[in-house]
């Protein structure tokens, strides 16, 4: 008999604007759906959309890939409506995909705390929300919420999922040093790991891509400002949904002050099927993020043969030793600038070696049997590497 897992997340397919968390859930259900009975509760619309998905029935479960999905209207997200729907799913395990989601995490933990969800195992995946950079955004509000959550025992006997040992340390630093944390890597887009053929880089020039949601957490403003005073011809193309309009205006203002040899352009939103093809057209993927628990787009860049320059706030570490890119402390602005200049000056042959290394590493990572095994055990309600 299959284990029944109820997944709660603000956004899921056919949505894509929320980025990595959707792909994480899609990959989990795709590769484990034959072994585990997944039901997903989610919003009836994509991130930032005012209209619901066309043709969605919010009164019944619908088959999406290897899982069943119930799309909820605003009214159905109310606490006692949610309780009725959750109970009807009769799950052994409830999997929460955020700490700060009001409807899909806080309400559920409150229902559990007052005894409405007895006998159900709770797994919480913070999705990078406990990195120092992420916590510093709306810091006071988050600090108060976490304090109150601990006081009321929201996290008692919960199992936490970390995608890396770095995130495990973050969870224990924020929640409790004795918190039960399973280190379970996210499942990559295994069937999409075959790369496009990257273009050759020209010495004295660099084509850079930033592909992510436009928000403070992704740190686009830092990326723009780091381009100042670079020598050579640089094209910096930005893709992603405009999540934070005020922040985007600051980014545009900074871009207007770039020198004439730096060409900035916003290219709009890329749908998931086109991400790898888009990334393969560039010499460098640049994401100085404040924190990621996995970073699917980072893996997609690597598997596309696009070297990466990122902050050291993701699980992707020691990239220079691997010969596929660089992970740098955000306090080292000069280091980012120096790497960018080195890339501009880099000859084609040297850059091509980074491309080959990236493709080979992605294929090796995607075929690591430990990743699927660890996820399988997690959703059977057990703990891995706690």
383 part of a folded domain: no
Q: Residue 307 maps to which CATH number?
A: 3.40.50.2000
Q: What is the pLDDT of residue 382?
A: 56
Q: Is residue 25 one of the residues assigned to a domain?
A: yes
Q: Does 170 share its domain with 198?
A: no
Instruction: Tell me whether residue 63 is in a domain.
Output: yes
3-state secondary structure of 18: coil
**pTM for the structure as a whole:** 0.88
pLDDT (tens digit per residue) in 1-53: 789 999 999 999 999 999 888 999 999 999 999 999 999 999 999 998 999 99
Nearest-angstrom CA–CA distance, 4 and 379? 9
Claim to verify: residue 82 and residue 220 sit in the same structural domain: no
CA–CA distance, 178 with 97 (Å, rounded to integer): 21
User: 37 forms bridges with which residues in the sheet?
Assistant: 4
Residues 127 and 235 in one domain: no
How many residues appear in the chain?
A: 386
Pairwise CA distance, residues 206 & 181, whole Å: 41
Same structural domain, 317 and 222? yes
DSSP classification of residue 359: H
* Residue 57 and residue 175 in one domain: yes
In whole angstroms, what is the distance from residue 220 CA to residue 225 CA?
9
**Same domain, yes or no: 137 and 199:** no
Alpha helices in 90-205 (DSSP H): 107-113, 132-135, 139-151, 165-174
What's the structural domain count of the chain?
2
Residue 32 in any domain: the answer is yes
Q: Quick one: 177 and 195 in the same domain?
A: no
Mean pLDDT per 10-residue interval, the chain, length 386 residues: 93 92 92 94 95 94 94 96 96 96 96 94 93 89 94 93 92 94 87 57 95 96 97 98 96 97 97 92 96 91 95 94 97 97 96 95 91 91 52
In a domain, 220, yes or no: yes
Report whether 288 contacts 316 (CB < 8 A). Answer: no
Q: Both 200 and 219 in a single domain?
A: yes
Is residue 93 situated within a structural domain?
Answer: yes
CA distance 169 to 284: 30
Same domain, 227 and 101: no
Domain containing 157 equals 3-187+368-378
Cα separations in angstroms, 324 against 32, 107, 304, 375:
30, 42, 11, 26
Which two three-digit tokens encode residue 341? Answer: 């200049």
Strand, helix or coil for residue 158: coil
pLDDT tens digit string along 344-383?
999 999 999 999 999 999 999 988 999 999 999 999 855 5
Provide CB contacts within 8 A for 31, sequence distance 6+. 187, 190, 372, 375
Q: Do 127 and 226 belong together in one domain?
A: no
Measure the CA–CA gap between 72 and 53, rounded to whole angstroms: 11
* Together in a domain, 83 and 35: yes
CA distance 211 to 7: 27
Residue at 281 is within a domain? yes
- Please give the Cα distance from 334 to 267 (Å, whole number): 28
Question: Alpha-carbon distance 359 to 99, whole Å?
Answer: 34
Distances (CA, A) of 321 to 68, 185, 287: 42, 21, 19
Neighbouring-strand partners of residue 93: 5, 121
Query: Which ranges in the chain belong to alpha helices (H)?
Result: 20-32, 79-89, 107-113, 132-135, 139-151, 165-174, 220-225, 245-256, 275-279, 296-303, 319-322, 333-345, 348-366, 369-378
364/190 Cα distance (integer angstroms): 10
Measured distance CA(331)–CA(315) in Å, rounded = 18
Query: Pairing between strand 233-239 and 205-211?
Result: parallel
159 shares a domain with 48: yes
Structure tokens at 159: 């199992």
Residue 89 placed within a domain: yes
- Residue 287 and residue 220: Cα distance in Å, rounded? 7
């Amino acid at each position: 008999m299959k284990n029944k897992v109820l997944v709660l997340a603000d956004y899921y397919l056919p949505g894509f604007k929320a980025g990595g968390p959707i792909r994480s859930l899609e990959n989990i259900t795709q590769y484990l759906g034959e072994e585990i009975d997944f039901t997903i509760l989610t919003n009836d619309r994509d991130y930032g959309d005012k209209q619901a998905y066309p043709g969605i029935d919010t009164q019944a479960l619908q088959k999406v890939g290897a899982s069943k999905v119930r799309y909820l209207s605003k009214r159905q997200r109310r606490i006692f409506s949610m309780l009725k729907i959750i109970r009807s799913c009769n799950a052994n395990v409830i999997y929460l995909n955020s700490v700060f989601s009001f409807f899909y995490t806080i309400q559920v933990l409150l229902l559990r705390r007052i005894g409405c969800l007895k006998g159900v195992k709770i797994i919480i995946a913070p999705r990078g929300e406990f990195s120092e950079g992420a916590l510093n955004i709306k810091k006071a509000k988050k600090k108060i919420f976490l304090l109150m959550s601990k006081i009321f025992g929201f996290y008692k006997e919960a199992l936490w999922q970390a995608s890396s040992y770095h995130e495990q340390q973050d969870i224990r630093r924020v929640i409790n040093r004795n918190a039960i944390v399973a280190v379970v890597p996210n499942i990559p887009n295994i069937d999409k790991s075959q790369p496009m053929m990257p273009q050759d880089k020209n010495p004295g020039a660099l084509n850079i891509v930033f592909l992510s949601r436009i928000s403070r957490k992704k740190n686009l403003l830092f990326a723009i400002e780091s381009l100042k005073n670079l020598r050579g011809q640089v094209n910096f193309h930005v893709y992603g949904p405009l999540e934070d309009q005020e922040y985007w205006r600051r980014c545009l203002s900074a871009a207007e002050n770039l020198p004439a040899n730096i060409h900035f352009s916003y290219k709009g939103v890329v749908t998931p099927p086109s991400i790898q093809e888009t990334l393969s057209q560039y010499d460098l993927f640049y994401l100085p993020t404040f924190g990621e628990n996995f970073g699917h787009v980072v893996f997609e860049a690597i598997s596309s043969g696009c070297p990466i320059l990122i902050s050291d706030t993701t699980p992707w570490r020691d990239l220079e030793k691997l010969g596929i890119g660089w992970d740098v402390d955000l306090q080292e602005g000069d280091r980012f600038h120096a790497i960018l200049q080195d890339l501009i000056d880099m000859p084609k042959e040297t850059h091509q070696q980074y491309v080959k290394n990236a493709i080979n590493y992605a294929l090796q990572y995607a075929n690591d049997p430990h990743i699927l095994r660890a996820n399988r055990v997690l959703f059977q309600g057990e703990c891995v590497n706690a």
